[in-house]
Amino acid sequence: MIEGVHPTALVDSKATLGAGVRIGAFAVVGPEATLGAGAEIGHHCVLEGRVEIGERVTVGHGSLLGGRPQDLKFRDDTPSGVRIGADTTIREYVTVHRATSAGGWTEIGRECLIMVMSHVAHDCRIGDGVIVINFAGITGHCEIGERATIGGYAGLVPFTRVGAYAYVGGWSRVNADVPPYVLAEGNPAAAHGINVIGLRRAGISAADRRLLQDAYRLLYRSGLSPRRAVERMREELPAAPLVNDLLDFIAGARRGICRAGSGPELDDESSATATPESESV
């Protein structure tokens, strides 16, 4: 018996277990699984196919990692897998499916929190520090930037992107890309301002937050087309890293970006009211 492994767990002899790994009752760990030091697998979990779990990752009871993707074109002999970065927490009954292409990976970054009953589909790429709230559905080939938050019961259609530090509200239907730093919600999801609270918590300076609010006004409150708004941003705003990231994201939006939501326009800091768009920086 391996220390830390419950006697009822089925752990293939070819699986690689790091020091201090703990595996709960009735868990199933396949031959291609690799578990980093200090990882903890809950009761009744299943790890199948190529699953690489980083150090100190916690997987809640009943979760399935590396399952067959829900893609009718997928062939069972395709060598693909799931990678999960160090210090990430996967809560109970989460499903994460392996990629569909040979050599491909469904990837979840470091220090993420994937809450109860959420689903991460094949070929998704989730950045470091992302939070996915209960019952959210991340469909195939989606990309979520670092420290973004996906609200409960939100659904992303395939190939959509959510930028870094963005916040998608609960019950939202995301059918277009959500730019970095933006707060979006609704069905379909629409932009309602800059995620000031998230940026402040992340240590983004007040000057940079104001600059992003200026960029937001040009993009969503000026009445300009996205193409013309981008031109204005390049003409009028400093070439700061956060603004450049926003411009690069918009340029790569194959599905377009989410539309503007209804709400008051922020004219200046002194007239700001307590709305997500205009919250004090």
| Pair of tokens at residue 66 | 């590396």
CA 258 to centroid of chain Cα atoms: 17
| Pair of tokens at residue 237 | 């705003």
With a CB cutoff of 8 Å and minimum separation 6, the contacts of 72 are none
Q: What angle, 0 to 180 degrees and rounded to 10, lies between the N-to-C axes of helices 226-236 and 241-251?
A: 160
CA 7 to centroid of chain Cα atoms: 35
97 in catalytic set: no
Annotated active-site residue in 123, 141, 177, 193: 123
Contact, 154 vs 136, CB < 8 A?
Answer: yes
140 in catalytic set: yes
Annotated active-site residue in 140, 145, 155, 193: 140
123 in catalytic set: yes
Contact, 191 vs 185, CB < 8 A?
Answer: no
Annotated active-site residue in 97, 119, 122, 192: 122
Active-site amino acid positions: 122-123, 140
